Each structure stands twice: as structure tokens, then as C-alpha cells.
Structure 1
Amino acid sequence: MGKNVTAKELGIDLVQGGENALFQWLLASFLMGKRIRAEAAVQTYHVIVDRHGRDTPGKLAACTHRELVRMLGEGGYARYDESTAVRLLALAAKLMDEYDGTVSAMAEASADRREFEKRLQDFNGIGPKTAEIFLGEAGEVLF
């Protein structure tokens, strides 16, 4: 697998998959946007989504910090597990609180792609790199 893993390679269909696919791609983009081996990010994504079924903001937000740290470790994301767990739980909670748990609602609240990107980067742990990864594929679906 190359440096840039696609949504399709993760089994995410952004066109047909609707809201769940958008959230799963956001989660994957978040994991891949960090300074970590792509393989570890992909493995961790599969652990969280496939093995533990935390594939929506609500299901992710329902995790305890300790459960999420354990999942991150299981996926090989051990070096950043504590801070990443905090940020992922905050991401899920903010999505639930401010955007009814949907990426689409965040897009609808944004005047354009640039404003959406700014909203995305308001999440703790999402910087330009993660936004670029996410919008590289989801941008076509959302805008």
C-alpha cells in the first residue's frame, strides 16, 4: 500500500455509502494525517471500525477513553494512543453536539469548501494535512 491510501482501499464507498461513509473516511483521514506509518493507520482504522464496530460518531463517542486507547494500541498506534484517544472522542462529541452527528450537516453549514475546511480544522487534532486527505476524496461528494 502506498503513502496515500484511498477510501476505496479501505472499503469505504463515498458515493453510495452516505453519512456513515463520510464519517468513516473522516476517521481514516484523521488517523492517516498523523506522523505514523500508513500501515499502522490503516490497521487501526480496521480495528476501530471493523473489529469494534465504532463506525458512527455516536458509537465512537460511547467509547471510554481506556477502550479507545486499547483499540489504538491494538492497531499499532501505540505511540500516540493517549492524545489520539482524547482527540477522537472530542471529535465525535463535537460532531454530535454541533452538527447533529453528521459530516453533511457541517458541509451544509458551510458557505463553501474553504469554510468547510476551516470548520474541519476547528476540531482538535485536525490540521491542513488531515483536511487535505479528507477533502481530496470527500470534497467531490460534499461540494
Structure 2
Amino acid sequence: MRRQLLPRDLGFEVRPGDEPSLFKWFLASFLFGNRVSQEIAASTWRVLVEEQGCDTPARLCRFTHAQLVGLLGEGGYRRYDESTATRLSLLCRTLMDEYGGRIGGIAEAAEDRDDFERRLLAFKGVGPVTLGIFMSGAGRALFPARGT
């Protein structure tokens, strides 16, 4: 089994208080947590973030469902492109509406790390695999006292 990709594999580091890096890693974790290869997830992430500049929920929300399906297809997502586009739209809208468009907003609203993780799991399409991937790369940035 290959090792899970980390933020540095995508060319960035997740740092405390650095919202773009937190969101980029959340988006990557979301894609890696789906049933596609790491290569397809990474390629799709590059299309969304590097080519289209989707490093914030607001920037991701500017795309229509059809545009997201096209971008996912460009990255190699073909089997789950419709459902993934729907979940991505919901994800960015929820971040905008409930957390001020910030991953840090989730941490601020949460009572503790466990509550933060419950809040992440409440996003449609975020399950234990996505949560584990995200926390492996962002846990220390969000909760420095406890680490990952």
C-alpha cells in the first residue's frame, strides 16, 4: 500500500492561521477520501487550485454545477463527477454560510478537537477517511497542543 500524500507533496505546507493552506488541504483531503486513485485526486486538485485558483470556499463557490463537473473531468474524475460536484458546492456553501468561509471558523465554533471533528463529519461527503487525511496534515496547525 502506498503512503498517503501530504500537503508538501502538493507543494505547500499547512500553517497555523493560514486559511488558504487549510482550505487547500481540506479540498485535497476531500478528493483523496473518495474512491479514486491518488493520481486522479491530485490531478483534480491541481486543476481546481493551481489552474482555477480555488484556494478559498468563495472562489470554489463561483463555479456552477456544470462547470465543476467539467473541471472534475479535466482532472480525471469521471465516475463520480456529478455527485462530487454536488458535494463540493454544498461544502463551500456550508463553509461560507456557517463558518465565515474559513476552516478556522469551524475550529473557533468548536468546543474542542472532538467537536471540530464532528463538525467536519457533518459535511456531506466527509467521512472518517477524509477526516483522517485532513487531520494528518492539519491537526497540528489547528490544535498545536495535542498535535495530530
Q: TM above 0.5, one fold?
A: yes
Match of 2:62 in 1: 62
Unmatched runs of 5 consecutive residues or more in structure 1:
none
Counterparts in 2 of 1:6-25, with a 5 A limit? 6-15=6-15, 18-25=18-25
Match of 2:94 in 1: 94
Displacement of 1:12 in angstroms is 2.2
Supply the distance in 2 between the matched residues of 1:111 and 1:8 (Cα, whole angstroms).
29
Unmatched runs of 5 consecutive residues or more in structure 2:
144-148
Match of 1:126 in 2: 126
Q: Is the 8 A contact 2:47 2:74 kept in 1?
A: yes
TM-score by length of 1: 0.96
Supply the distance in 1 between the matched residues of 2:57 and 2:13 (Cα, whole angstroms).
18
Once the two structures are overlaid, the 10-residue window that deviates more, 90-99 or 103-112, is: 103-112
One-letter code aligned to 2:117: E
Q: Is the 8 A contact 2:16 2:142 kept in 1?
A: no
Secondary structure of 1:77's counterpart equals coil
Match of 1:116 in 2: 116
State the percentage of identical aligned residues. Answer: 49
Displacement of 1:17 in angstroms is 7.5
Q: Is the 8 A contact 2:15 2:22 kept in 1?
A: no
TM-score by length of 2: 0.93
Counterparts in 2 of 1:44-83, with a 5 A limit? 44-83=44-83
Once the two structures are overlaid, the 10-residue window that deviates more, 113-122 or 12-21, is: 12-21
- 2:138 is equivalent to residue 138 of structure 1: yes
Displacement of 1:16 in angstroms is 6.8
Supply the distance in 1 between the matched residues of 2:70 and 2:102 (Cα, whole angstroms).
26
Q: Is the 8 A contact 2:22 2:103 kept in 1?
A: yes
Supply the distance in 1 between the matched residues of 2:17 and 2:107 (Cα, whole angstroms).
16
Displacement of 1:4 in angstroms is 0.4
Aligned-pair Cα RMSD in Å: 1.1
Q: Is the 8 A contact 1:12 1:25 kept in 2?
A: no
